[in-house]
Amino acid sequence: MGYLNKLEQEMNTCIRCAYCFEECPVFNEQGWDSDGARGKVILSYGLLSGEIEPSRYIADKLFQCTCCRDCVERCPSNVRVVDIISSARADLVDAGFASETHKYVIENIKNTGNIYGDTEVTSPVREGETPLFIGCQYLSRPNKTKRYIKILEKLGFDLHIQKEICCGFPMEILGFRKDFEAHKEKFLKSFPYKEAIAFCPTCTVFLKEGYGIDVKHIMQVILEKLPEADLGLKVTYHDPCDLSRGLGIIDEPRKILEKLGVEVVEMKRNKAQSGCCGGGGGILMSDSSLSDRIALNRIKEAMDTGVDTLVTSCPTCEQVLKKAAKEIGEREGKNMVVRNIEDILWKGLKKGGK
Amino acid sequence: MKPDIEGLKAIVGKNNASDEIADLYVYSSDASVHQAMPSAVVRPKTHEEVQEIMRYADKNKIPVVPRGAGSGMSGHAVPIDGGIVLDMKRMNRILDIRPEDVICKVEPGIVNDELNRVLRPFGFFFPPTPSSGNICTIGGMIGTNASGNRAVKYGATRDSLLGMKVVLANGELVTLGTNTRVEASGYQLARLMVGSEGTLGVVVEATLLISPLPKYRAMGMVNFSRLEEAGRAISNIISAGVVPSMVELMDNVAITAVNKALDLGLPDVAAIVIFECNGMVKGTVDHDMESIKKICEGHNGTGIKVSDDPGEMARIYAGRKKLFPSLSKYREGLACVSLADDMAVPISKIADCVHEIHEIAKRNNVIMSAYGHCGAGLIHTKILMDPTKKSQWEDAKRAVKQVYEYVHRIGGTTSGEHGIALSKAPSWKEEKRDSLEMMRAIKRALDPNNILNPHKLMDAPDDWTTATALRYQVKGA
Ligand SMILES: Cc1cc2nc3c(=O)[nH]c(=O)nc-3n(C[C@H](O)[C@H](O)[C@H](O)COP(=O)(O)OP(=O)(O)OC[C@H]3O[C@@H](n4cnc5c(N)ncnc54)[C@H](O)[C@@H]3O)c2cc1C
């Protein structure tokens, strides 16, 4: 257990109080103690101590985590739960317990530089001053990307874009650390910058934590430059975990929406305590039914606010919440429109000043 | 005998029983130092299912350990003899809320804070306020007679419990207590269940007394350069007839820890006392706060801050609230271990006890901080030690023993709210030595096959360090 070895002290710091149960999306969905973050830390400890052997069942439990960091937020002992879980995953992958869908994604990154293995993607290359990192998710949504770039350029950013490859985060979080070590060098060659702007919350966190790049998420850089607008919308805002808990970007999107004349009605769980969308940590690929159920819970929570539009600023959250909203719409006839904040920004800019 | 997992699945459904090694391993520990593997974990949904499981277990003499969130700090839900762990969290319905009678009826798996969220719109709350209220269950609170920082005003779970339905070891369902506020005569059997730590029956329903939410609240903070003066101030506050809703103490180790971890800039004094009053009338709250302030000044308390602004109150309480994380990151290589985690002493002896805890820690090469709900005479400690070293466990064992010997000498008791189970049992058995047989007779009468959470409390082993495996890997000397 080469990776967990380094975290023994961290696991001993866990007092096993179970505070992490409170809003753990997987625990609340499945209910076994082994589903909650504490359970996963205990399983990791057992793997390290040798009291339990790696198995498919244990791997499934440890991969059933959205890595939403709610546990980290609530932990009274500040235990680095996600580090522990991702290290356990790395040891399990080394022991031969990687999931087939995860292997597929990793192969895609290795072969094409893109998580989807999408050979069609092209980075909208341009010379400029401020390096921009787009990320696989947005690159595979070229229309959105084009608009986001236009928004930044309209606001006066002189962007520098070059051919991108995946930041490697999936390798890290899915336990393919050896592959990540090899990928890291390739990535740094493709993106040799000390400062940058990024679109995707997850890439933003990873460029910071994995590479030490001083990267700002787009939400952090546009507020000042954004002209006011009067869109007259009423929405609820879903905080992506990587923005709110990962980077503390909580006020910025709300201020941006306010500036564009959009009123935000908060969900019961919001800001740093935001509920999970169900899309993170790899479960979207390895356990889509669990992911769907978590997303449905979040959409129901959004519906409780009484508004009919949910805005978010992460492509993964957008994708899974859209799917859940569609399902509820078809099943129960209730409507919740899920929009990326980029869409609102675009409308706001088009409408121009008040 | 190993439980028949297929038979158990037939009772609760195939997704609600497991003998997978990973599940058994996770359910082998709680928030204590202990660890022991069950043979099966079962998650019933109805009292009928609990009855069926108990009938099966009793017939086959298989141990059954009820479990809520597993947040007990002394090994309550650790199945020392193996057997079945009965995870009660699926039985989490609120059955009835009757504000006009100030009662509610719940299933045992409901989480304390969830119950309070539902009661809030009615203008009520369930008064015991354990810090673990965000995850601990009503069943677990009954099992341990939990209380919290507001015990000084509202008492413990015992004081807010009127009645319950219990499944006995043989599967029989009995109704204990009442729905009324008063009940005279007869054995108080509902109360007997409170604090029985799952050894006498499985609570499947509880009738709870609820209180109107107070309309006003104010909080204060005061520094003391001498521990004795803090202790005397607390004692005077309580005996002066003021009824604070909270009186918390933090010793210098605690202050140093939160300053180090959170950079709060708390003064480097011997003790800080945080106090709170609440009520329906602002004038009364203000009056009580003023009285407390004067008492503290009379005992050389300095730097007194008082506020009823929610933001300022949160700032005042921040250090106390974050004490736990601060302690667990106190020093690289040390873990914050739940041992000698609580005790209650006569209020006049608080300062002496805190002082003695520091001395005992020094003598035994560990670090101990003392803090807690001192208005109720309750002190919490934690042992900061290297849990991977054998010698540190010996140090901890001596420290625990000495702490409780002292507590008993000054007329205190082994646990104020967390309960006994395994790690406090040796000391508690000393304290209760002339009533242990009475307890054993009750246990035998209700559970002749000794299947319900066996070998806890009066029947726990005499050495907690070997009672079960330790949850930490102990490697070197
Ligand atoms: C960080 C932290 C803070 C804490 N703060 C406090 C505090 O402020 N005040 C306090 O009093 N305690 C506190 N505790 C201790 C603990 O949380 C309480 O004892 C709590 O009431 C236990 O509830 P649980 O649901 O976790 O029960 P468990 O730990 O699962 O069980 C506790 C006992 O109750 C029995 N039990 C559980 N359900 C049933 C049932 N349905 N029928 C019969 N027996 C049952 C179990 O067999 C066991 O013996 C704290 C613990 C931690 C880790």
Residue B173 lies in a domain: yes
Percentage of the residues of chain B whose pLDDT score is greater than 90: 92
A40 alpha carbon – ligand 1 mean position (Å):
21
Residue A120 lies in a domain: no
- As a whole number of angstroms, the distance between CA A292 and CA A2 comes to 33
Containing H/E element for B335? strand B335-337
Residue A111 lies in a domain: no
Q: Return the best residue to mutate from B71, B248, B321, B451 for the ligand 1 pocket (most ligand atoms within 8 A of CB).
A: B71
- As a whole number of angstroms, the distance between CA B92 and CA A292 comes to 24
Q: How many CB atoms lie within 10 A of CB B14?
A: 11
Of the CA atoms within 13 Å of residue A231, those in its CB half-sphere come to 23
Residue B153 lies in a domain: yes
Phi, psi of A268 (to 5 degrees): -55, -45
A86 strand-pairing partners? none
Q: Is B66 in the pocket of ligand 1 (CB under 6 A)?
A: yes
One domain, residues A253 and A329: yes
Q: How many CB atoms lie within 10 A of CB B46?
A: 13
One domain, residues A188 and A239: no
User: Strands of B103-106's sheet, edge to edge?
Assistant: B94-98, B103-106, B202-209, B161-167, B173-177
C-beta separation of B234 from B292 below 8 A? no
Cα angle A327-A147-A242, degrees, rounded to a multiple of 5: 60
> In the predicted model, what is the mean pLDDT of residues B353-368?
97
Residues A237-270: b if buried by 16+ CB within 10 A, e if exposed? bbbbbbbbbbbebbebbbebbebbbbebeebebb
Could you tell me the pLDDT band of residue B171, with boundaries at 50, 70 and 90?
Answer: very high
Provide the token pair at B365: 């090469």
One domain, residues B165 and B233: no
One domain, residues A294 and A204: no
Interval A290-310: pLDDT, tens = 999 999 999 999 999 999 999
One domain, residues B221 and B265: yes
One domain, residues A37 and A144: no
Could you tell me the pLDDT band of residue B477, with boundaries at 50, 70 and 90?
Answer: confident
CATH number of the domain enclosing A258? 3.40.50
Range of the domain at B277: 216-327
- As a whole number of angstroms, the distance between CA B243 and CA B300 comes to 21
Residue B130 lies in a domain: yes
Q: In the listed set B172, B197, B212, which residue is the last one of a domain according to the structure?
A: B212
- Chain A residues within an 8 Å CB radius of B91: none
- What is the maximal distance between C-alpha atoms in chain B? 68
Residue B325: which of A43, A51, A77 has the nearest Cβ?
A77
Could you tell me the pLDDT band of residue A237, with boundaries at 50, 70 and 90?
Answer: very high
Q: Is B68 in the pocket of ligand 1 (CB under 6 A)?
A: yes
One domain, residues B153 and B257: no
Q: In the listed set A174, A190, A222, which residue is the last one of a domain according to the structure?
A: A222
Residue scoring higher pLDDT (B322 or A317): A317
Could you tell me the pLDDT band of residue B443, with boundaries at 50, 70 and 90?
Answer: very high
One domain, residues B220 and B207: no
* Ligand 1 atom at shortest distance from the alpha carbon of B421: 49
- Neighbouring residues of A40: CB distance < 8 A, sequence distance ≥ 6: A34, A61, A62, A65, A81, A84, A85, A88
Residue B75 lies in a domain: no
B47 residue type, one letter:
H
Q: How many domains does chain A have?
A: 3
C-beta separation of B276 from B246 below 8 A? yes
* Best residue of A6, A77, A85 to probe chain B, by most B CBs closer than 10 Å: A77
> In the predicted model, what is the mean pLDDT of residues A71-83?
93
Q: Is A17 in the pocket of ligand 1 (CB under 6 A)?
A: yes
Interval B210-224: pLDDT, tens = 999 999 999 999 999
**Looking at residue B330, what is its pLDDT?**
83
Provide the token pair at B52: 């069926």
One domain, residues B251 and B285: yes
One domain, residues A161 and A248: no
Could you tell me the pLDDT band of residue A354, with boundaries at 50, 70 and 90?
Answer: very low
- As a whole number of angstroms, the distance between CA A209 and CA A168 comes to 12
Task: Find the closest chain A residue to B132 by CA distance.
Answer: A19
Going A10 to A13 to A16 to A21, the CA torsion angle's sign is negative
- As a whole number of angstroms, the distance between CA B373 and CA B250 comes to 10
One domain, residues B131 and B192: yes
Could you tell me the pLDDT band of residue B319, with boundaries at 50, 70 and 90?
Answer: confident
DSSP B10-54: HHH-GGGEE--HHHHHHTTB-SSSEE---SEEE---SHHHHHHHH
Mean pLDDT of chain A: 96
**Looking at residue B343, what is its pLDDT?**
97
B251 strand-pairing partners? B271
- Chain B residues within an 8 Å CB radius of A26: none
Q: How many CB atoms lie within 10 A of CB B298?
A: 12
C-beta separation of A59 from B52 below 8 A? no
> In the predicted model, what is the mean pLDDT of residues A179-197?
96
Q: What is the CA radius of gyration of chain B?
A: 22
B224 strand-pairing partners? B271
Residue A335 lies in a domain: yes
One domain, residues B299 and B223: yes
Residue A285 lies in a domain: yes
- As a whole number of angstroms, the distance between CA A240 and CA A237 comes to 9
Q: In the listed set A50, A78, A94, which residue is the last one of a domain according to the structure?
A: A94
User: Strands of A233-238's sheet, edge to edge?
Assistant: A262-264, A233-238, A309-312, A337-340
One domain, residues B187 and B244: no
- Does the pLDDT of residue A55 top 70, yes or no? yes
Provide the token pair at B66: 């009820």
One domain, residues A287 and A345: yes
Closest approach of chain B CAs to the CA of A28, in angstroms? 11
C-beta separation of A280 from A309 below 8 A? no
One domain, residues A158 and A241: no
Residue B28 lies in a domain: no
One domain, residues A211 and A174: yes
Q: pTM for the full model?
A: 0.97
CATH number of the domain enclosing A61? 1.10.1060.10
Residue A122 lies in a domain: no
Interval A84-104: pLDDT, tens = 999 999 999 999 999 999 999
One domain, residues A139 and A32: no
Q: Is B196 in the pocket of ligand 1 (CB under 6 A)?
A: no
Percentage of the residues of chain B whose pLDDT score is greater than 70: 100
Q: How many CB atoms lie within 10 A of CB B241?
A: 8
Contact map slice: A 46-75 vs B, CB within 8 A: 46, 48-49, 51-52, 55, 57-58, 61, 74-75
- As a whole number of angstroms, the distance between CA A218 and CA A197 comes to 6
Q: In the listed set A222, A256, A287, which residue is the last one of a domain according to the structure?
A: A222
Interval B10-34: pLDDT, tens = 999 999 999 999 999 999 999 999 9
Q: In the listed set B312, B327, B342, which residue is the last one of a domain according to the structure?
A: B327
Could you tell me the pLDDT band of residue B177, with boundaries at 50, 70 and 90?
Answer: very high
- As a whole number of angstroms, the distance between CA A309 and CA B171 comes to 52
Closest approach of chain B CAs to the CA of A284, in angstroms? 22
Residue A99 lies in a domain: no
- As a whole number of angstroms, the distance between CA B112 and CA B96 comes to 15
Q: Any idea how long chain A is? A: 354
Of the CA atoms within 13 Å of residue A107, those in its CB half-sphere come to 7
Going A68 to A71 to A73 to A79, the CA torsion angle's sign is negative
Residue B333: which of A9, A49, A58 has the nearest Cβ?
A9
CATH number of the domain enclosing B249? 3.30.70.2190
Q: How many CB atoms lie within 10 A of CB B220?
A: 23
- Does the pLDDT of residue A353 top 70, yes or no? no
> In the predicted model, what is the mean pLDDT of residues B264-285?
96
Residue B385 lies in a domain: no
- Does the pLDDT of residue B465 top 50, yes or no? yes
* Best residue of A38, A41, A85 to probe chain B, by most B CBs closer than 10 Å: A38
Q: Check residue A242 and report its DSSP letter.
A: I
CATH number of the domain enclosing B110? 3.30.465.10
DSSP A262-318: EEEPPPSS-GGGPPP-S--TTHHHH-HHHHHHHHHHHHHHHHTTT-SEEEES-HHHH
Q: How many domains does chain B have?
A: 2
**Looking at residue B329, what is its pLDDT?**
75
- Does the pLDDT of residue A191 top 60, yes or no? yes
One domain, residues A245 and A347: yes
Range of the domain at A43: 4-94
- Does the pLDDT of residue B228 top 90, yes or no? yes
Contact map slice: A 77-116 vs B, CB within 8 A: 77-78
- Range with lowest mean pLDDT among A3-12, A47-56, A111-120, B456-465: A111-120
**Looking at residue B261, what is its pLDDT?**
81
One domain, residues B220 and B206: no
Q: Is B88 in the pocket of ligand 1 (CB under 6 A)?
A: yes
Residue A115 lies in a domain: no
- Does the pLDDT of residue B97 top 50, yes or no? yes
Q: Is B418 in the pocket of ligand 1 (CB under 6 A)?
A: yes
Residue A34: which of B23, B89, B471 has the nearest Cβ?
B23
One domain, residues A83 and A186: no
Residue A124 lies in a domain: no
Residue B137 lies in a domain: yes
**Looking at residue B21, what is its pLDDT?**
98
Q: Is B32 in the pocket of ligand 1 (CB under 6 A)?
A: no
B422 alpha carbon – ligand 1 mean position (Å):
14
Provide the token pair at B319: 């250090």
CB contact under 8 A, B31 and A16: yes
Pick the closest to residue A132 from A157, A97, A105, A106 (CA basis).
A157
- Chain A residues within an 8 Å CB radius of B43: 31-32
- What is the maximal distance between C-alpha atoms in chain A? 65
DSSP B274-326: EEEEEES-HHHHHHHHHHHHHHHHHTT-EEEEEE--HHHHHHHHHHHHTHHHH
Residue B114 lies in a domain: yes
Going A150 to A151 to A152 to A155, the CA torsion angle's sign is positive
- Does the pLDDT of residue B259 top 70, yes or no? yes
Could you tell me the pLDDT band of residue A232, with boundaries at 50, 70 and 90?
Answer: very high
Task: Find the closest chain A residue to B325 by CA distance.
Answer: A77
One domain, residues B237 and B192: no
Q: In the listed set B212, B243, B265, which residue is the last one of a domain according to the structure?
A: B212
One domain, residues A217 and A273: no
